[in-house]
Structure 1
Amino acid sequence: MPEAAASLPLFPLHAVLVPGAALDLRIFERRYLDMVRDCGRAGGGFGVCLILDGDEAGTPATPAAFGTEALIEDFDTTLDGLLSLRVRGRRRFHVLRTRVRDTGLVVADVAWREDDPGASPRLRPEHALLAELLRRMLEQAGGADPAPPLFEDAAWVGWRLAELLPLSMPQRQALLQLDDPHVRLQQLLDGIAEND
């Protein structure tokens, strides 16, 4: 269900960030360096949207209508002097309108999207196979996730699979736009069945 609108600077990428997922970025354009500085001062995040038309650098790209708020977890400077960021996806949003600042930064008025409150967060029996698949994927990956696993939570399982499975960007974007975590899981299950 949509929440109140807010203003959010956008960082259009040829990538889809889902809630809870981590993403490493290298920042070199002045508009994004200023954006990161402003986010640090305000203690807020910025929006990551899939690019529908254009490139990541240069002229402002056309972003998808749905994206995810990115919060900065860590930053450093690379050997070549660029700013590197580690961000994590937080809340999903729907872009209501955009404007381009004179610096080339795209700023959007967004409505926050939450998972459908009418949908139980508990994993349904027909999706238990997906939780088991995720458990095995995480065991093979070995790395420590900052959050404890929630294999009974439909939204958590869906987002982790959307992050880890080898999906195309349009497939990942389609999952991001769904409000019902059970519908998201069913689409993942159907996609896995089609690939068998």
Structure 2
Amino acid sequence: MSDDGQLLPLFPLHSVLVPGAALGLRVFEPRYLDLVRDCGRSGGTFGICLILDGEESGAPASPAAYGTEALIEDFDRDADGLLSLRVRGARRFRVHSTRVRDNGLVVAGIAWQDEDPRVRLLPEHALLAELLRRILEHAGAAVSGVPKARFDDAGWVGWRLAELLPLEHAQRQALLQEADPHRRLQQLLEFVS
């Protein structure tokens, strides 16, 4: 791990973003509009963390200890005139401290987590790769932007399943917190069985 003590603004949600996954956001609160403007000006990013206590709007929420960096891929105005963002999950991070700015934005002191090593899928997880292949074939164009398929890569298979399977937030959060791709796949195997 590196970059201890880096500050990252947070966008807490009742959702978990995993590396490589796409997520749509509607932005209307001034603190998050300011955040998006600042990211646009500086080329910066923000973090998405699962809300442990609180709501997505109003008073600042308490974020989970692990989150994912969000890269803005696209933006527009929706029919209601609200800012609509499409973000993609990048690096995982661990939150070690938080503070709340005057505008209510939560800023975290974070440590970036190591990227997954590129490791081959174990034979006991081959069923998961086949499940993912079928999900992607069935979904077709509905899962636009899925990174280039790597069905032999344990990390890639795990993150795509974590993104696409109908998991509970706590299950997806547990996967996000797991550093080992093989253990992550084992958890997924237990979830689907």
Task: Output the TM-score relative to the length of structure 2.
Answer: 0.95
Whole-angstrom CA distance in 1 between matches of 2:146 and 2:128: 21
Check conservation: 2:91, 2:115, Cα contact below 8 A: no
Which deviations, in whole Å up to 9, do the C-alpha atoms of 1:20-75 show, x marking residues without a partner?
00000000000000000111111121000000000000100000010000000000
1:132-151 mapped onto 2 (5 Å cutoff) = 132-143=130-141, 144-151=144-151
5+ residue gaps, structure 1, are none
Q: Secondary structure at the match of 2:10?
A: strand
Check conservation: 1:93, 1:113, Cα contact below 8 A: yes
Matched with 2:69 is: 69
Check conservation: 1:24, 1:86, Cα contact below 8 A: yes
Whole-angstrom CA distance in 1 between matches of 2:192 and 2:102: 45
Matched with 1:154 is: 154
Check conservation: 2:50, 2:64, Cα contact below 8 A: yes
Which runs of structure 1 show a deviation greater than 3 angstroms over 4 or more consecutive aligned residues? none
Check conservation: 1:115, 1:181, Cα contact below 8 A: no
Whole-angstrom CA distance in 2 between matches of 1:116 and 1:80: 40
Whole-angstrom CA distance in 2 between matches of 1:145 and 1:183: 26
Check conservation: 2:99, 2:108, Cα contact below 8 A: yes
Q: Secondary structure at the match of 1:179?
A: coil
Whole-angstrom CA distance in 2 between matches of 1:75 and 1:131: 32
Matched with 1:125 is: 123
Check conservation: 2:9, 2:105, Cα contact below 8 A: yes
5+ residue gaps, structure 2, are none
State the 1:129 CA deviation.
0.7
Q: Secondary structure at the match of 1:157?
A: helix
State the 1:146 CA deviation.
4.5
Q: Secondary structure at the match of 1:8?
A: strand
Q: Which amino acid aligns with 2:158?
A: G
Whole-angstrom CA distance in 2 between matches of 1:146 and 1:14: 23
Whole-angstrom CA distance in 1 between matches of 2:116 and 2:158: 14
Q: Secondary structure at the match of 1:107?
A: strand
Whole-angstrom CA distance in 2 between matches of 1:83 and 1:75: 7
Check conservation: 1:115, 1:155, Cα contact below 8 A: no
RMSD, matched Cα: 1.1
Q: Secondary structure at the match of 1:122?
A: coil
